[in-house]
Chain A
Amino acid sequence: MKALLPDLVHAWRVHRATPVASSIAVAVLGIALGFMTAFLSLFSDLLPHPHRGFDAADGVATLVAQMPDSANPVNIRFLERAGDEVSGFAAVAGVNVADVEWRDGAKVELLTAETVTRGFFDGLRPRLALGSGIAAEDHRDDGASVAVISHALWQRHFGGRPDVIGQELELLADAMASNDEEQVEVGPYRIVGVAHPDMEGTFRSNVDLWLPAEQFMPKRLTGPLANVGLGNFGMFRALVRLALDRSLESARRELVSAHGNGAFDGLGQPDDARLQLHPGVTLDPGRQAEARRQVGLFTLVGFLVVIVAGANVGLFLLARAPGRRRELGIRLAVGAPMKRLRRQLLVESALLVAAATLVGIVLALWLMVWFQDLAFLERARFSSVSLLDWRVLAGVVGVAAFVTLLVSLAPIAGLKRLGVIGATRQVRARPGAFQRFGGALQIAIAGVVACVVLGFVVYLLDLRTRDLGYSTDDLVVITPSFSGPVFSADSADAERTRVRRERQREVLLQIPGVEAVAFGVPVPAGQVSATFSFRLSPPDRPDREIRVALASADRVFPEMLDLRVLHGRWPDVGDASGHVVSRALAEAVFGHVDVVGEVLPSIQGPGLSEPKPVVAVVENVFFAHPEKPDDPRIYSESTFFSDNDRILLKTRLPLGTLRPELDRLIEAGDLEIDIAHFFRPRDRFRELLAPDRGRLYLSMLAAATALALALFGFYGIQRFLVDAGRREFAILAAIGAGPKRLRRRVIGTGLLLGLPGLVFAGPLGYLGLAALKPEFLPDSTPALAIVLFVVVALAVLLVLTSLAPARRAAAIAPAAQLRED
């Protein structure tokens, strides 16, 4: 270490001698390391971690009923069955989050509660600071009203006093039935325990208390829901504790096997749900895994950008080398061994990289705040980002060490030529091996990243311009609060639906500026999962089952959304003699599109069992993300869930103007709805594309950085070559090469220098795009065209980047250069 000190001091002097250039080098490398550190931190955060709030947390795992888009909540019967069927589970418990109000005298505070099922406290064993957990016998509807409060609530409201045990909390909660604003008094809850500070919540932080679900939830089930029974409500996220002698993998196999044997049939899970077991506690492992893959991809891109920046800084040091040649030559002459000089150069590089790493970590702290708000990361719902995670820091240090070697490679390699260069009066004006390699590497990486970005750009443009099968111009959607019975399949209800629609339509059309009113569900960019799906078998393939979705749509609905009727005609109001089907359904069931007149087989669903002919075929509609094709669909004027109709208004009124009008009608009692959501589908559509935009912005940022660095580095090489070759350019000028010729020579040299990079960028860019399909990019992405465009664009950029050095070469005064020293 003592021996390194003089090297460090000298390295500091060397860098200080060229403050601007050294600062640029640190900034370039720092930016690249900052990006990579931020992504590495996010990636680390998305890895499964043991939950610090549980004892022996390694044994706690998440059980998920995974659907294509998200994890499905499960009901209590499912949890109990899982505990019975899988011997690898020592305990199974469910967790649900609810907001409750705590009335403390005149004071009212909104608290976040986790309602947990039996097995949570005694099986999963969350850590406690005081008292006990909720006992098994209190997990009954007639159990005692007991609660465990968080350490934060204990400190905040009870001053951390131990006599908190036994005190009572007077709680109120929203009823789960007809009216969201209805509250029920769930009574006083006696505090039996205080959670450990590390137990801030199961799936989220800032949880204030834990309540027994079996005792608490039934109090919230009022009205028509009161008789359904808590066991049937799929509202819980499931956690398990593995049996002591069992691994996650063996428990997973047992779970999947039990599922395959039908152990979970009839417990509220769709047939296509896949049961999965994930290590640790994660709310939505599928989405988290997807985010992890994406962040992993960006981490890789970040690492590539670091390599580009490292190569750049290496070239910068190389370009500075002619100025240092004399110093190093003198050191050699006075007997410095080559090894010692190598160490000196390595220390100089290490100092630059260390400064850049500090800049990078500071930048990463800022970047992560921004990255977390990006939709595709935000939806992964990770709770915290721990920059100082030892794995992240170890990774950053490893990368920094690698970059130090990369950066010092060129100057160290240059040492070997020191003697030769010193002996000749001619200065080489040809790129060295490192310059060639570094230049090619930078251009190739920039090309690959540019290809990926262009892939995302093309994809996003395609998404934005894709024919979704509907128009949302001047459309506003109102989602009324859930009310009344869920199922209504008889004709009397159909008549009631018609009456209700006409009444509401009449009222809404009184609002000046509202041109038309339609009713239906699903709606564009709305919650498609709000609809119901059933199965039918094609007439010629009774062994096959096709998943069929239903839509409720009144007569105005197709006109307002501009749905395209391909064959037949939409039935008149009240005409329920035939089905309107989507193109997808026609093709899936009958194998062709024009199926008007064909009889649709019976479907296992309320009001659908009677076979009816098809009266119209409409174009497919992408109600959700444009990449997510709609299920084969039947449109029905009135179906069993028509009471959940969304109201569609055709109006140009701004939302801010429309809402008071609606509120006025509701307050006056003319419009008998409560508004749960109120939105323009166009805005929601933008939100749907937010994850895609987020990916695009991130990759654009990475590409812009990589491209800027590569071009900056390339400019540096060209500039260095021109400066080092001034004498050669002067000779050429002396024998008759004009400015144009000299410029062409520099540009030609540049293209030759960049050619290997371009040659590699093409196939690598193509492979990069191929690797992103189909997970991140559609198969239809025109990879070849993108690659060709990027290669040509890069070549043009290389020419443009060479222009300034070319002008410099053409402006060299030959007389001065050729004059004998």
Chain B
Amino acid sequence: MNKQSPLIALQGVERIFTTETLETHALDGIDLEIASGEYVTIEGPSGCGKSTLLSVLGLLDEIDGGEYRLADVLTTEIDAEERARLRNREIGFVFQSFNLIPEMSVLENVALPLVYRDGMATGERRKRAGEVLERVGMAARADHRPNQLSGGQQQRVAIARALVGEPSLILADEPTGNLDHENGEQIMALLAALNRAGATLVTVTHNPEYAAHAGRRIAMLDGRLRTPEATAA
């Protein structure tokens, strides 16, 4: 990657949802650049397009217009397999509802992204998953099932899963939405610490208190970016 290039570069990005009677512009000409190491929050009311933007950034959703470059790769020109590979190596997701797989143990959940990397032995996968769980303070629960953990603990596991592949970008969609205040604080502190350690972090949040942790706050309304409010990192 060119040192001068941003990690994320969106130009005129559009995402349109069409039904029989309605056409909704979820993203309506988004121009956005995020540099490597930045901590950005996206704010806005429900239905403004925050989650759609995060899905587009995470290559979970395709765009209907414009350009999106991730780590200098023009994502509109790569196929589904390459997008999956990019997602696996460059992106870590944290969801509001954790999205852990209930039949798998904590360790297996965390190691899951490494399963989709060719050539890594099971032992190595487990070792790295164990290390990341250590970092988020969940090593003692490695053999538990997700439904045996509290919400905060499940989100820590989800963060560990996002980190295990050492991605350059972490995307968090309302990571504290299902947590109480105390757990929410802890998760946001954890994410901030990861950012300080070098990870690029993009979060969607409703909570201005948590948004204040970010280096840059982006507001959205009706699929468009409002005046960006830059703050010192």
Contacts and interface: CB of A to CB of B under 8 A. Distances in A.
Interface of A: 424-426, 428, 430, 727-728, 730-741, 810, 813-815, 818-820
B80 A734 contact: no
Interface string B85-112: 1011101010111011111000000001
A737 B80 CA distance: 10
Contacts of B80: 738-739, 810
A736 B101 contact: no
Interface residues of B, number: 34
Contacts of A735: 87-88, 93, 112-113, 116, 161, 165
Contacts of B96: 820
Interface stretch (B50-58, B64-72, B119-127, B184-192): B50-58
B182 interface: no
A153 to B, nearest CB: 76
A738 B113 CA distance: 11
11 contacts: A430-B103, A728-B101, A730-B99, A731-B100, A734-B93, A735-B93, A736-B85, A738-B81, A739-B80, A815-B52, A818-B55
Given A424-B102, A734-B99, A815-B61, A739 B55 contact: no
A112 to B, nearest CB: 74
Contact of A819 (B51, B58, B93): B51
Listed from nearest, the 4 A-B pairs whose CB atoms lie closest are A736-B88, A738-B84, A815-B55, A815-B61
B116 A818 contact: no
Given A426-B102, A731-B99, A736-B91, 6 more contacts: A735-B161, A736-B84, A738-B116, A815-B60, A818-B97, A819-B55
Given A814-B60, A818-B99, A741 B116 contact: yes
Contacts of B38: none
Given A815-B55, A820-B96, A820-B97, A736 B116 contact: yes
Contact of A734 (B60, B89, B102): B60
B97 A740 contact: no
Contacts of A819: 51, 55
Contacts of B161: 735
B170 to A, nearest CB: 12
A815 B85 CA distance: 17
B84 A737 contact: yes
B174 interface: yes
A734 B58 contact: yes
A737 B116 contact: yes
B177 interface: yes
A277 B135 CA distance: 89
Residue in A736, A739, A741, A810 with the greatest tally of chain B CB atoms within 10 Å: A736
B87 A734 contact: yes
A174 B88 CA distance: 94
A425 B97 contact: yes
B60 A736 contact: no
B55 to A, nearest CB: 4
Nearest to B52: A815
Contacts, number: 82
Contacts of B101: 426, 728, 731
B147 interface: yes
B61 A739 contact: no
Contacts of A814: 55, 60-61
A425 to B, nearest CB: 7
B93 A740 contact: no
A727 B102 CA distance: 11
A813 B100 CA distance: 18
Contact of A818 (B89, B91, B95, B113): B95
A424 B147 contact: yes
A810 B60 CA distance: 13
Contacts of A727: 99
A738 to B, nearest CB: 3
B26 to A, nearest CB: 10
A739 B79 CA distance: 10
Contacts of B85: 736, 738
B208 to A, nearest CB: 20
B87 A736 contact: yes
Contacts of A428: 102-103
Contacts of B52: 815
B110 to A, nearest CB: 10
Contact of A740 (B61, B81, B100): B81
A739 B96 CA distance: 24
Given A728-B101, A735-B112, A737-B84, A813 B93 contact: no
Nearest to A731: B99
Contacts of A730: 99
Contacts of A820: 95-97, 173-174, 177
A739 B87 CA distance: 13
A301 to B, nearest CB: 38
Contacts of B173: 820
B70 to A, nearest CB: 13
Nearest to A811: B80
A736 B114 CA distance: 9
B161 to A, nearest CB: 7
A741 B55 CA distance: 20
Contacts of B88: 735-737
Interface in B149-165: 161, 165
A741 B84 contact: yes
B181 to A, nearest CB: 19
Contacts of B83: 738
Nearest to A727: B99
A430 B101 CA distance: 11
A810 B99 CA distance: 18
A191 to B, nearest CB: 85
B174 to A, nearest CB: 7
Nearest to B146: A426
B108 to A, nearest CB: 12
A736 B102 contact: no
A426 B98 CA distance: 11
A786 B203 CA distance: 60
Contacts of B177: 820
Nearest to A813: B61
B61 A736 contact: no
Contacts of A737: 84, 88, 116
Nearest to B112: A735
A815 B54 CA distance: 9
Contacts of A426: 101-102
B99 A736 contact: no
A118 to B, nearest CB: 84
A740 B80 CA distance: 9
Contacts of B103: 428, 430
Nearest to B96: A820
B118 to A, nearest CB: 11
A624 to B, nearest CB: 64
A384 B101 CA distance: 63
A319 B142 CA distance: 34
B78 to A, nearest CB: 11
